[in-house]
Homo-oligomer: A and B are copies of this chain.
């Protein structure tokens, strides 16, 4: 990690809580639709709608809300009440307005790293949502800018690095998703640190057999500092 110039941070579930709010929303949604199927069955249908829509809608809360409405019509065979659809829209709006819970030690880490590196947020969330979260979190001052990615596959990172004008060796990605933040960057020859979070969206879960790489993992984001500065001092 000697030559690092730019450090990319994933945002949701790396800097602040996100997935638990989605899961809470989904739980309420499943309860609203309980007469049309078990929580598990509704959840499965919703996930299937989301995956069908992902090419068209992409990631983020608005896509999730649209898929919730579509799934409600589908599982109810269009019997879902208009009032329930209205409640689903409100669930989506509440999700977008979720409270901000920055993880412990994040600010300390950003403050330290921003003295030596250019920090960016690299996320496939919605720009408006991520700008709002960055503002509310008070973390905006540590970042040079936000990079919105339509997906986080290795070709998306290749584009990002070209745009940032750095080589993979000069880039370090830090995030909670092995699938989105770690493997595609490793594939390009870039640097990574994995900061696991206890809750992972089904779409982000990696088959263990796919994960043939070794990469640094920290229990707590605060350990990053020692890891980067020890390495760079060698």
Chain A interface residues toward B at CB < 8 A: 56-58, 62-63, 65-66, 69-70, 73, 76, 78-83, 85-86, 89, 92-93, 96-97, 126-128, 131, 144-145, 148-150, 159, 162-163
**Contact A82 B78, beta carbon cutoff 8 Å:** yes
Q: With the chains together, A102 CA to B33 CA distance in Å?
A: 44
Distance A162 CA – B146 CA, assembled complex (angstroms):
12
Cross-chain contact B73 with A62 (CB below 8 angstroms)? no
What residues of chain B lie closer than 8 Å to A76, measured between beta carbons?
Answer: 82
**CB-CB < 8 A to A150: which residues of B?**
127-128, 131
Partner of A82, one of B79, B149, B159: B79
> Which of chain B's residues have a CB closer than 8 A to the CB of A63?
62
Q: Could you tell me the distance between the alpha carbons of A69 and B90 in the complex, rounded to whole angstroms?
A: 12
Are the C-beta atoms of B56 and A97 separated by less than 8 Å? yes
Taken together as a complex, chains A and B put the C-alpha atoms of A97 and B56 apart, in Å, by 8
Which residues of B sit under 8 angstroms from A86, Cβ to Cβ?
73, 78
Q: Are B73 and A85 in contact (CB under 8 A)?
A: yes
Known: A56-B93, A69-B85. A163 touches B148 (CB 8 A): no
A62 contacts B57, C-beta separation under 8 Å = yes
Residues of B within 8 A of A96 (CB): 56-57
